[in-house]
Amino acid sequence: MKIIMCSLDVSTKQTGFSVFVNGKRKESFLLDHTDNKDTESRMVEMATDIITYLNKYKPIIVSIEDTFCGTNAAAMKKLSRLQGVVYGWCLINNADFNLYLPSSWRKEFGELFKGKKRQECKQLAIEYVKNKYNIDVNDDEAESILIGEATVIKYDGLV
């Protein structure tokens, strides 16, 4: 039986999207809408892309990074809307929905991220993916891969 899991590092401009089959990374890519400067239409494009790829892969498990309540309430609202798109897709398609705070999924990698600041963690994620998979990715795609790996650990290798 094939168990398909998708993990996303959701953003309004670039979303990292990873696909795992039976606990192994199959592919990852970037949903890139940085060219669209209109926030509202960009949000529609991103939401549509996310739904399109979830429909394509039909995962039974979806994991994303939780929105962080920082100082920018407008950004948090936009990210929460995209989170809602993923959550709604999971409800309609009977898929498990997992939210991870950055500190939560990073903890699964032991000492790698411990005590590091946000930007340093992003660079470490890029380097980790380069070393493990021999691919060059940006921080969004790298973190989507690591969120997926953290989910595999959470499900104790069952995915």
Closest CA to 10 of 25, 27, 38, 30: 30
Per-residue pLDDT, 158: 58
- What HEC string does the chain produce? CCCEEEEEECCCCEEEEEEEECCEEEEEEEEECCCCCCHHHHHHHHHHHHHHHHHHHCCCEEEEECCCCCCCHHHHHHHHHHHHHHHHHHHHCCCEEEEECHHHHHHCCCCCCCCCCHHHHHHHHHHHHHHHHCCCCCHHHHHHHHHHHHHHHHCCCCC
Residue 69 confidence (pLDDT) above 60: yes
Q: What is the pTM of this model?
A: 0.93
Per-residue pLDDT, 67: 83
Spell out the domain ranges in the chain. Answer: 4-154
CATH architecture of the domain with range 4-154: 2-Layer Sandwich (3.30)
Per-residue pLDDT, 159: 54
Per-residue pLDDT, 90: 98
95-130 pLDDT per residue, tens: 999 999 998 999 999 899 998 998 999 999 999 999
Average pLDDT of 73-81? 87
Residue 154 confidence (pLDDT) above 60: yes
